[in-house]
Amino acid sequence: MFIGFSEAESFLRNCRDAVIITHQNPDGDCIGAGFGLKDILEQLGIRSRVICHDEFPSPRYDFITSVGQGEDFEPQTVIAVDIADVKLMGKYADIYGDKVQLCIDHHISNKNYAEKTLLRGNATAACEVIYDLAEYMGVKITKHCATCLYTGIATDSGCFKYDCTTPRAHEIAADMMRRYDINFARINRYMFDVKSEGRMRLESKVVELMETYLGGRLNIIAVTKEIADAMGVSMDELEGFAPMTIQLEQSEVGIFIRQRDNDYKCSFRSANDVNVSEICQSLGGGGHAKAAGCSMTGELEEIKKSLVETVERALSR
Amino acid sequence: MFIGFSEAESFLRNCRDAVIITHQNPDGDCIGAGFGLKDILEQLGIRSRVICHDEFPSPRYDFITSVGQGEDFEPQTVIAVDIADVKLMGKYADIYGDKVQLCIDHHISNKNYAEKTLLRGNATAACEVIYDLAEYMGVKITKHCATCLYTGIATDSGCFKYDCTTPRAHEIAADMMRRYDINFARINRYMFDVKSEGRMRLESKVVELMETYLGGRLNIIAVTKEIADAMGVSMDELEGFAPMTIQLEQSEVGIFIRQRDNDYKCSFRSANDVNVSEICQSLGGGGHAKAAGCSMTGELEEIKKSLVETVERALSR
């Protein structure tokens, strides 16, 4: 059942304790939302614990998680943040999947799996929803909480760069700067500018693999196991390269391809108006208009040829 | 003489025409401020022309400048935007340097060279000052004007990423999104994400030149003429690489060195608390706390050795 702020407030004020579930492969928004909500519940005298299928990336998110996830206890209340679908809970799907009493989310694709869902499908981030909920409730948040919530808004919006950024996200950022004196420049440096030396050198190697099609409107980077072995990197390390495929001036669509055991994982990005979600759906995958994915089997050269044709058709529409 | 919004308003309302000077090596803020102000004057029925020592970079800023700089005429009024010092006018310093009646700026270092100066030294960008002036005056700005002013705020703040971002910058962005429906995501893509294929490949070559000192706290990239020749690039193309020197996790200070005819140009960046302006001042240069520069003569290896020692002393303070 979808609920509004008023019902979410009574729910939170009436719970005695809570476990807060964040999604697997945790990012800035679910980590910020989880720990931000934990801070808010603390203000209300409610103990809570933040859990995740995976470890929270360290040291990247230490400035959020170093307060601790909270002690272990048998919770009476189960809350999910930034989780559109039970299966994104990983190992916790079995334990808590059908016991979520409150879900706070901003994904329009939310499966409505929880007893009550506070969904704002047009919000930049789950952290934006939680900030507005705290405002609604009149809870005075801490500087650490503001830091958590700013991080989620910044990371989900690409530091206010992408389409999904709402005017409200900017207003909240202004508010946090004025009222809580958050060290936003340092957060942004960690989230957006800093990389490891290995990552920096890897990026310059990956650039060399870029291939240009359709007069520059399509770029493809394909990393086979053989190439990854030669570069000395695991496939896990090849996360986050998809945006690189649309950084050239003429780019309309970019595809980052990684070989897996039995298939190729294809991550699509759209620079402007092409809806890559539609393209990926036609190939058995899915996603958002500007970022989507699918998997393909067969010979790499055949796959590329077919992808180029598919994108060419989409561009001519 | 420094003036406030009220006096700036009467000045603008009483001028019959204006030439608007932007600084040499024009960037998003002075271009946005120049063309934004031109739009505002048009609303008031005042003809104006935007001028610059250099050509406005094309196609990068075409979305701003394609309305035209305005026809040539003998101006009665001279306005400077985003110009802290007459010498930044380049060839226009001789013609207009002592004739500037109004300067609108946000540089705390403004030399107060104009008859009247509307200075907000804590503003993110000159465009922030101009937006607030238009608000103060009750001028209904156009979507093109909002696009110009957003661009200046975004580029000077690194898309709201850096220390210099004010809460007001966020509020203005929110306002522009709500009221003028600007295509901010496309602006940001052009300003921050898009690069030419040559630039992309050059970056991956420059990364290879990075040297690490002081346990990773100092990184230096030095490009000699010999190296530039081997890479097939001119020294002009080596603009904008300084931030790369502080992108590693442990970085505190980064120095990008380029060989010139008779010396080496050293661009410093600080990741956190080291004041590189102080370092550069001690070496005969200057700048801001987080971005400063100086020039050095002698043998490159000796220069590097001396810079490492200087930075080591600064870090131990």
Instruction: Summarize pLDDT for A100-124 with one digit per residue, the tens.
Output: 999 999 999 899 999 999 999 999 9
Calculate the average pLDDT of chain B: 95
d(CA B79, CA B133): 14
Question: Which site among A184, A197, A221 would you substitute to test the B interface, given the most B Cβ atoms closer than 10 Å to its Cβ?
Answer: A197
Q: Is the pLDDT of residue B202 over 90?
A: no
Task: Kindly state the average pLDDT of the residues B204-225.
Answer: 94
Q: Is the pLDDT of residue B271 over 80?
A: yes
B-chain residues within 8 Å CB-CB of A161?
159, 185, 188-189, 192-193
Structure tokens, B117: 């100066």
Structure tokens, B197: 């294929």
Q: Is the pLDDT of residue A56 over 80?
A: yes
* pLDDT value of position A204: 86
> What is B198-316's CATH number?
3.10.310.30
d(CA A127, CA A31): 9
Calculate the average pLDDT of chain A: 95
Contacts of B218 (CB under 8 A, 6+ apart): B212, B251, B252, B253, B254, B255, B308, B311, B312, B315
The letter for the amino acid at B247 is Q
Q: Is the pLDDT of residue A264 over 80?
A: yes
Task: Kindly state the average pLDDT of the residues B14-29.
Answer: 95
Spell out the alpha helix ranges (H) of chain B.
5-14, 28-43, 62-65, 92-96, 126-137, 143-157, 167-180, 184-188, 197-207, 225-231, 276-282, 300-316
* pLDDT value of position A8: 98
B-chain residues within 8 Å CB-CB of A251?
194
> Is 0.95 surpassed by the pTM of this model?
no
The 10 Å Cβ neighbour count of residue B6 is 10
Nearest neighbour of A249 by CB, restricted to B177, B194, B216: B194
d(CA A268, CA B146): 32
What digits encode the pLDDT tens for the residues A11-27? 999 999 999 999 998 99
Tell me chain B's radius of gyration from C-alpha atoms.
Answer: 21
Nearest neighbour of B201 by CB, restricted to A168, A207, A271: A207
Q: Which helix (H) or strand (E) holds A253?
A: strand A253-259
Does residue A144 sit in helix, strand or coil?
helix
CB A256 within 8 A of CB A242: yes
Nearest neighbour of A192 by CB, restricted to B161, B171, B246: B161
The answer for B70, left when phi > 0, alpha when psi is -120 to 50, beta otherwise, is left
CB pairs under 8 A between A and B: 117
* pLDDT value of position B13: 97
% residues pLDDT > 70 (chain A) = 100
Q: What residues of A are in the B interface, CB distance below 8 Å?
A: 159-163, 165-168, 170-171, 173-175, 177-178, 184-186, 188-189, 192-197, 200-201, 203-205, 207-208, 210, 212, 216, 243, 246-249, 251, 271-272
* pLDDT value of position A178: 96
d(CA A216, CA A312): 12
CB A79 within 8 A of CB A19: yes
* pLDDT value of position A237: 81
Q: Is the pLDDT of residue A266 over 80?
A: yes
* pLDDT value of position A231: 84
The 10 Å Cβ neighbour count of residue A198 is 11
The letter for the amino acid at B244 is M
Under DSSP, the state recorded for B2 is B
* pLDDT value of position B200: 86
B-chain residues within 8 Å CB-CB of A246?
193
Structure tokens, A178: 């004025």
More confidently predicted of B56 and B198: B56
**Nearest residue of A to residue B189 by CA position?**
A161
**Nearest residue of B to residue A189 by CA position?**
B161
Nearest neighbour of B195 by CB, restricted to A160, A162, A247: A247
Q: Which of A64-68, A208-212, A230-234, B163-167 has the lowest mean pLDDT?
A: A230-234
- The CATH superfamily holding the domain B5-192 is inorganic pyrophosphatase (n-terminal core) (3.90.1640.10)
Q: Which of A241-250, B95-104, B144-153 has the lowest mean pLDDT?
A: A241-250
Cα-Cα-Cα-Cα dihedral sign, residues A197, A185, A80, A170 = negative
In the structure, what pLDDT confidence band is assigned to residue A35 with cuts at 50, 70 and 90? very high
What digits encode the pLDDT tens for the residues B128-185? 999 999 999 999 999 999 999 999 999 999 999 999 999 999 999 999 999 999 999 9
Task: Kindly state the average pLDDT of the residues A162-191.
Answer: 96
Contact between A159 and B162 using a beta-carbon 8 Å cutoff: no
Is this complex scored with an ipTM above 0.95? no
In this structure, what are the phi and psi dihedrals at residue B217, rounded to the nearest 5 degrees?
Answer: -75, -20
Tell me chain A's radius of gyration from C-alpha atoms.
Answer: 21
Contact between B193 and A243 using a beta-carbon 8 Å cutoff: yes
Q: Is the pLDDT of residue B69 over 80?
A: yes
Q: Is the pLDDT of residue A203 over 80?
A: yes
Contact between B207 and A208 using a beta-carbon 8 Å cutoff: no
In the structure, what pLDDT confidence band is assigned to residue B240 with cuts at 50, 70 and 90? confident
**Nearest residue of B to residue A177 by CA position?**
B167
Task: Kindly state the average pLDDT of the residues A164-178.
Answer: 97
The letter for the amino acid at B293 is G
d(CA B249, CA A194): 5
Q: Is the pLDDT of residue B45 over 80?
A: yes
Q: Is the pLDDT of residue A235 over 90?
A: no
Instruction: Show me where the domains of chain B are located.
Output: 5-192, 198-316
